[in-house]
Every structure is written in C-alpha cells, then in structure tokens.
Amino acid sequence: MDEQAARTPSDSVAEVVSVSDIEWDIDTDVLVAGGGGTGLVAALAASENPEIRVTVLEKAPHCGGNTSLSTGMIPAAGTRLQREAGIEETPADMARDILEKNDYQADEERVTYLCEESANLIHWLVDDWDVTLHLVDDFKYPKHSEFRMHAPDGRNGENLVAELVERVEDAPNIELLTNAPVTKLVAEDGAVRGVVAGLTHDEAIEAEKVILATDGFAGNHEMITEYCEEDVERALYFGSDGNTGDGVRFGAELGGELACMDAYQGHATVASQTGMLSTYAVTMNGGVLVNEDGERFGDESSGYSEFAIDVLKQPGGQAVQLFDERIFEKLQGEFDDFDEAVEHGTYHSADSVAELADRLGADGERAAETIAAYNEAASAGEPDEVGRVDGTHPLEAPFYGTKVTGSLFHTQGGLVVDKHARVLRTDGSVVSNLYAGGGTACGISGHGAGGYLSGNGLTTALGYGRLAGIHARESFE
C-alpha cells in the first residue's frame, strides 16, 4: 500500500452498519450502486444468467455519470475492428503505452489483465449487446502508439450511455431506479450483506453481491484537498455532480485498501467563456496553446491531463488555443462535443494570428511570431521550440481560437481490487461479496495527473464493470 493512501477518508458519519441494526425491506441477488458506465455494464454482465435478479440504484435523476460526459471512446487491443482496418496490435502493446505514461507506477498485473480483456469487452458489447462502436483511425490521443479507440456515434459518451440504458431497461431481470442513492453498506462479520438506500426515506435491501460503481471523489472538495496536489484545487470541476467518493468511503470503512489516491484526470482545454469542452483532437491535429504573452509554455502533446496544470500556472490560470480552418472543418460532424461548442459560440476566427490573439486577450504580435516558428518546425518535421513532434501540422489562415482553462474531470485513485474487481484488504484478503470498478476502484494511471493516458477511465469503468458482473453472476452457478 502506498503511504499517501494509507489513511482512511475523513468522515464522521458511519458508512457501514451492522445487519443486526436493520430490518430488511426487500431483497435482490446483485445490487449495483451507480448507473454510470461501470454500473450499467456490470448489470448487463450479471444479468446473462436469467435466474439472477439485478438491481441498479443511481443517485442522480438520470444515468450516465462521467461516462456520459466523456467521448465514450474505449481503448482496446487486438479487436476485430482493428484487424478489419489492417491494424495488428497485441494487448502487450496497449499495456506498454499505459505503463510508460505513468512511469510504471500502476499495478502492472492489473494493467496487463485489463488490456488482455479489452478486446473481449469490445466484442461482447458489439456482438452480444448490439452496442454501436467504430474504430477511430483519423487521429491518436497523446502517447497512443496505435489506433485503438473504439467510439460510439458522435464520439460522445451520452450516446454510449443511451444504448447501455436501453439494453438494461430491456433486460427482464434488471430493475433500474434513479433518484435512489446508496447511503450505507450493511455488513456482518466483515462480509457485505446489502445496502441502505433512498432519497426521501431509507430502505434496507438485502443482496448476495454488491458492486460499487459510484465513481470517484472529484466532486468532493474536502477529499480533493486531502489527497490531491494543491494546484488542482483551483481547477474548474468538469465532472459529474455525483462523484462525491461514496463508494470509496464505504469500502475503506470495511478495511478495503486504498491506493494512488492522488491520481486524477485533468483537462487543459475547457473554454473559459462558454464552459464548453474544446476537444483535445483540436490540439492533436495541429493546434497549439499560448499564454497571454503569446508564448508556448510546454509540449501540448505530453497529455491533456498534466497539461491542465500547466495551463493553470499561466497568468489568470488561462491560455489561448489556436488552430486553423483545416482542423475546424475536419472535426465538424465527427465530434458532438466540438459541434456543440461551435453552436455555443466558443470559437472566434480571424485572417491573422495577431488579430485573433489580440481579440482573445493575448499578445498578438508575439503570438504571430510563435505560430511562425511552430509552422517552420512542423514543415521541416523537426521538434519545435517546446520539443513537440507529435500531431504537428503547419497552421494557415483563416485561424480559429478560444480562451481555455484547466479543469478536473475525475479521480483515478480508490479501492484496490483483484482481476475479478473484488475489493481487497491491506493483507490481500477479499472483502466478501463486495466489488468495485471505475472511479471507485484504484485506476491504472499511477500518481498525480501525468500518468493518465486517454481512455484509462473507461478501461477501468467498463473493464472492471464487466469483470465484476461476470464474477458475481458465476457465483450463483
């Protein structure tokens, strides 16, 4: 266990009650706490035994959580969709990219297993549940060595969630309830026996298996202050309102081990004026960021998570994202997020960099010099002044841009789990009948913001969700 995560999240209210202190109101076989990507996938996997009753409780009025706020892109290696595009990749290739990004701070065994299961996840979603996914082969996110992102229509997580919810609602043995927060776990001799849940009044629900899919704690300022670096406290929170660390605290009170609690995913390009996400595909297709002095301040291709902190360290905690018409036209119709940002007037345009930068509050003359130097390096195929070589392309008039700030999307630390997503104690023993996935579980990004590789969030969300559902289901067989 890493020293930083050794302490239990501070909270004066008991998160676990004894079975002797409650009376059961109803019962189910598998109780899933949370209706985001993790919970919906877990429910589908568990429901494949038609004799099992599965109940999903979502605290918000609608399902989705952070999955619905994401691009919905799921990384996977060795899929049929890749082979059809002429791409031959192994899970080891994907694992290497993940581990190199976090300097091998993540649990190598867990990373390897999730990568080995990634193709099975994609094929299961597409073939068994008729979920719409296509291979993204027109650009790569930072530090991805191959095209491995599998995206829903519009490259929008809302569309993925909508399909998952539809499949859950069509399953005869799944009950899905919203406005139904799980408030406590019920345990007996260290083993989970059910939950207490309810928005206006509590109900005690007995369950053979409980899957914690409540996401992380990025929306809990107290926990962010306790565990994460100081700079991220100033970041705009851009995640789901429900990410308050519930499941992390539940599991920790039962002795679940915590790890990498300082890990999180930031994002460098949330538009300051409209509050819309400016997709990082803008950057990885050749866009750049400058500060108010019109100067670059780092290699944007290092990753949008850690670059969020670089943006926050600039004057006013802001920067200007600059790109051109080629990028603008390429992304229109491909990313729902980009189209929505355009509709909300996020982007400005001008025939010169100087005019555009001046309009967005940066030094126009210096910005024009910066872009000229960038273009020269990109044309020559050489590293530019900040050492960037990935995703560079000369920018030409007309130019587009927006003012951006760094944001916090979600945390990546949490409960340590095994390959079946069962929650583990510090001595390696299993917390009986309890599973965790997504932001509730320890992720695969190591420590801080810099270890996050794009797609790590959905790798653990949908990956652990499926594995938890399978193991819970098989326990009845």
**How do residues 299-308 score in pLDDT, each as one tens digit?**
999 999 999 9
pLDDT of residue 2: 54
pLDDT in tens, 52-84: 999 999 999 999 999 999 999 999 999 999 999
Residues 6 or more apart in contact with residue 177 via CB below 8 angstroms: 55, 56, 57, 58
pLDDT of residue 13: 55
263 token code pair: 């890990």
Burial of 60 (C-beta count, 10 Å sphere; 0-12/13-18/19+): middle
pLDDT of residue 12: 40
Report whether 136 contacts 151 (CB < 8 A).
Answer: yes
pLDDT of residue 30: 98
pLDDT of residue 201: 87
pLDDT in tens, 306-322: 999 999 999 999 999 99
Q: Where are the domains of the chain?
A: 14-260+411-473, 263-406
310 token code pair: 């670089």
pLDDT in tens, 78-128: 999 999 999 999 999 999 999 999 999 999 999 999 999 999 999 999 999
Q: How confident is the model at residue 14 (pLDDT cuts 50, 70, 90)?
A: low
Which pTM was predicted? 0.93
Stretch 210-215: mean pLDDT: 98
Q: How confident is the model at residue 200 (pLDDT cuts 50, 70, 90)?
A: confident
Mean pLDDT (the chain) is 95
How far lies 13's CA from each of 16, 33, 179, in Å?
Answer: 9, 19, 21
CATH number of 14-260+411-473: 3.50.50.60
**Torsional class of 179: left (φ above 0), alpha (ψ -120 to 50), beta (otherwise):** left
Residues of the chain above pLDDT 70, percent: 97
Instruction: Name the pairing type of β-strands 399-411 and 236-237.
Output: parallel
Report whether 266 contacts 309 (CB < 8 A).
Answer: yes
pLDDT in tens, 365-374: 999 999 999 9
Q: To the nearest 10°, the Cα dihedral for 119, 122, 126, 128?
A: 70
Stretch 40-45: mean pLDDT: 98
From the list 367, 384, 388, 386, the residue with the least C-alpha distance to 376 is 384
* Same fold for the pair 14-260+411-473 and 263-406: no
Report whether 297 contacts 318 (CB < 8 A).
Answer: no
Stretch 47-55: mean pLDDT: 98
Stretch 394-409: mean pLDDT: 98
From the list 295, 311, 265, 284, the residue with the least C-alpha distance to 458 is 265
Q: Return phi, psi of residue 38, to 5°.
A: -60, -50
From the list 250, 390, 208, the residue with the least C-alpha distance to 307 is 390
pLDDT of residue 152: 97
pLDDT in tens, 373-386: 999 999 999 999 99
Which top CATH class is 263-406?
A: alpha beta
Q: How confident is the model at residue 3 (pLDDT cuts 50, 70, 90)?
A: very low
Q: Is 1's pLDDT higher than 80?
A: no
- Type of residue at 337: D
Stretch 161-179: mean pLDDT: 98
Per residue, the 3-state secondary structure of the chain, as one string, reads CCHHHCCCCCCCCCCEEEHHHCCCCEEEEEEEECCEHHHHHHHHHHCCCCCCCEEEECCCCCCEHHHHHCCCCEECCCCHHHHHCCCCCCHHHHHHHHHHHCCCCCCHHHHHHHHHHHHHHHHHHHHHCCCCCEECCCCCCCCCCCCCEEECHHHCHHHHHHHHHHHHHHCCCEEEECCCCEEEEEEECCEEEEEEECCCCCEEEEEEEEEECCCCCCCCHHHHHHHCCHHHHHCEECCCCCCCCHHHHHHHHCCECEECCCCEEEEEEEECCCCCECCCHHHHCCCEEECCCCCCCCCHHHCHHHHHHHHHCCHHHEEEEEEEHHHHHHHCCCCHHHHHHHHCCCCEEECCHHHHHHHCCCCHHHHHHHHHHHHHHHHHCCCCCCCCCCCCCCCCCCEEEEEEEEEEEEECCEECECCCCEEEECCCCEEEEEEECHHHECCCCCCCCCCCCCCHHHHHHHHHHHHHHHHHHHCCC
Stretch 149-172: mean pLDDT: 98
